Amino acid sequence: MSGIWAVIPVKELEGAKQRLAGFLSPEERHALAITMMEEVLAALAGSTRLAGVALVTLEARAVAIAKREGWRVIEDGARDGHTGSVDGGRRVLAAEGATGILTLPIDIPATVPGEIDAALAAHAGSAGFTIVPAHDEQGSNTVIVSPPMAVKLRFGENSYFPHLDAARAAGMEPQVVRQPGIAMDIDHPVDLAAFLRLPQSYGTRTRALLEAMAVPRRLGEAGL
């Protein structure tokens, strides 16, 4: 099973997006989390450069999509947070012969298959580290590493520069690729406003959902 596999952590979506709790109701946050996940997984399904996709999850909706697409479902680390889930998935794939892994979160709904393929195309050689930072250069919205376990990963709001340091510590000069859709993760109300200003957001189901929930008006009333 050589090649680069996507390792995608999908936590259980009930109660997701707590940092939007002061702005969206629990029902709205749940609907948003589902829609964003579905859009990201659709972008992965459209990639032409991935050897395969593995979801690290116990979330029933994600498992159903994986079965439909013929993807792997890995449970190792599924309840160990974002970093633990990625580590669980990449350990399994490394043991089975994957030459590298790509990981990204499920809250970047403006991404498209071409952005994923562009990041993969920039990743050269059997040993390397490629990263697409978040729009604020805090998060690491796509990481590609070959071999799969070559670099210690730690995800979170302040992971971009530590990941650059971790790659260099492993003897790899990181390749930085910037993609507007991948960069636009949604965690806070200000991110909703930035997403709605992004031209690439037009035509997404996430934008349609936010408009149906009157989020643009509510953002305006909040001065965002």
For residue 178, what are the domain limits? Answer: 4-152+159-216
223 within domain boundaries: no
Dig out the tokens for 141 from the structure: 């919205």
State how far the Cα of 26 lies from the Cα of 44, in Å rounded to an integer. Answer: 27
State how far the Cα of 8 lies from the Cα of 50, in Å rounded to an integer. Answer: 13
Q: Tell me the per-residue pLDDT of 125-181, one tens digit each, with 9 for 90 and over.
A: 778 999 999 999 999 999 999 999 999 999 988 999 999 999 999 999 999 999 999
Domains: count for the chain: 1
224 within domain boundaries: no
Query: For residue 40, what is the domain's CATH number?
Result: 3.90.550.10
Residue-averaged pLDDT of the chain: 95
9 within domain boundaries: yes
State how far the Cα of 53 lies from the Cα of 199, in Å rounded to an integer. Answer: 28
How much is the pTM? Answer: 0.95
